[in-house]
Amino acid sequence: MSGSKYEYVKRYELPDPLMLGTYMVFRLDGHSFHRFSDVHKFTKPNDPRALELMDCAAQALMKEYGDIVLAFGESDEYSFLLRKSTSLHNRRQAKIVSTLTSLFTSNYVFHWSKFFPDVALEYPPSFDGRIVLYPSAKEIRDYFAWRQTDTHINNLYNTTFWALVQQGGQTTTEAHATLRGTVSKDKNEILFSRFGINYSTIPPRYRKGSVIVREKTEPDTDVHTNEQQSTQESGLTQTRSGDQKELKNPPTKLEILHCDIIKDDFWNEYPKILEE
């Protein structure tokens, strides 16, 4: 690298390493998706096409980055847990946030027509991204419990709100007024007595959000044949020169669940998530 008199400006760049020995949670959220969902006529309260597109983009991220061990999505947001000992991009914050956010966004656009074959993409959507560091497994458990509780609260509200509008003939202003000051029990009661809807029978995707985990595939005796390389989902990565190189992580298969992640059962079933 030959120096120039301008090169000193590089020294104004500040390092932004993320502390070692902490869990990274990366969360992104659609920018102004209230508007985006209106313009693209998402069905209310839950457009399954939009949720499946979010899941698809999230899976693409997990295929590319083997260090993501868990993802949780609802509405226009997704959270990703990186394994504690990850050295992804040397733990540089801006590098991780910007590359993950842009890869998710490009996948959302890239796969749009698969999920919305009859809906033209009217303008390019964008997402914001952030990383929060947590010191221990307790906060990680509580973080995901917080997001899933949010899913529940929002979905119960939105389901009741749209039932009042779509089936009850209320205006949106009236529906907001009807729901002001109500607690969960009241909303369940409105749904059941006025509209015959038993909340617990609503699809788990809407009630619980989407949980993506890695299932270890059967260890192959010879994983280095070309044919197997092309079928493994995340055991390999492309280097800049296009060569394939091995990741530390063994090949895995991604699975989407719509289960409870607040109680112990999930974490007991997937103990690896919180290991190094």
43-79 per-residue burial string, b: 16 or more CB within 10 A, e: under 16? eebbbebbbbbbbbbbbbbbebbbbbbbbbbbbbbbb
| 152 has binding-site annotation | no
CA distance 178 to 272: 45
Q: Does 1 bind ligand ATP (CB under 6 A)?
A: yes
The reply, when asked if residue 31 is annotated as ligand binding, is: yes
93 is a contact residue toward ligand ATP (CB under 6 A): no
Residue bearing tokens 């909340």 = 199
Smallest gap from residue 111 Cβ to Mg ion (A): 19
Rounded CA separation 233/244 (Å)? 13
- Could you tell me the end-to-end alpha-carbon distance of the chain, in angstroms, rounded to an integer? 38
- Binding map of Mg ion across residues 71-100, x = CB under 5 A, - = no contact: ----xxx-----------------------
Which partner, Mg ion, ligand ATP, none, binds residue 37 by CB below 5 to 8 Å per kind? ligand ATP
96 binds ligand ATP (CB under 6 A): no
Least distance from ligand ATP to the Cβ atom of residue 46, Å = 5
Residue whose CB is nearest to ligand ATP in the complex, by number: 34
- Taking CB under 5 A as the rule, does residue 29 contact Mg ion? yes
Binding track, positions 31-50, relative to ligand ATP; x by CB under 6 A:
xxxx--x----x-x-xx--x
Residue 47 engages Mg ion in binding (rule: CB under 5 A): no
Residue 116 is assigned to a ligand binding site = no
Degrees to nearest 5, angle at CA 197 with 42 and 174: 65
| Amino acid present at 159 | T
Q: Is 34 annotated as a binding residue?
A: yes
234 part of the interface to ligand ATP, by CB under 6 A = no
Of 185 and 245, nearer to ligand ATP (C-beta) is: 245
CA dihedral sign of residues 66, 72, 78, 79: negative
Residue 175 is a binding residue for ligand ATP (CB under 6 A): no
Determine if 125 is a binding residue for Mg ion (CB under 5 A). Answer: no
29 is in an annotated binding site: yes
Using rule CB under 5 A, residue 67 touches Mg ion:
no
| Minimum distance, C-beta of residue 107 to ligand ATP, in the bound complex (Å) | 16
- Which residues contribute to the annotated binding site for Mg(2+)? 29-30, 76
Q: Which residues bind ligand ATP (CB under 6 A)?
A: 1, 7, 10, 29-34, 37, 42, 44, 46-47, 50-51, 75-76
- Which residues contribute to the annotated binding site? 29-34, 75-76
Q: Which residues bind Mg ion (CB under 5 A)?
A: 29-30, 33, 75-77
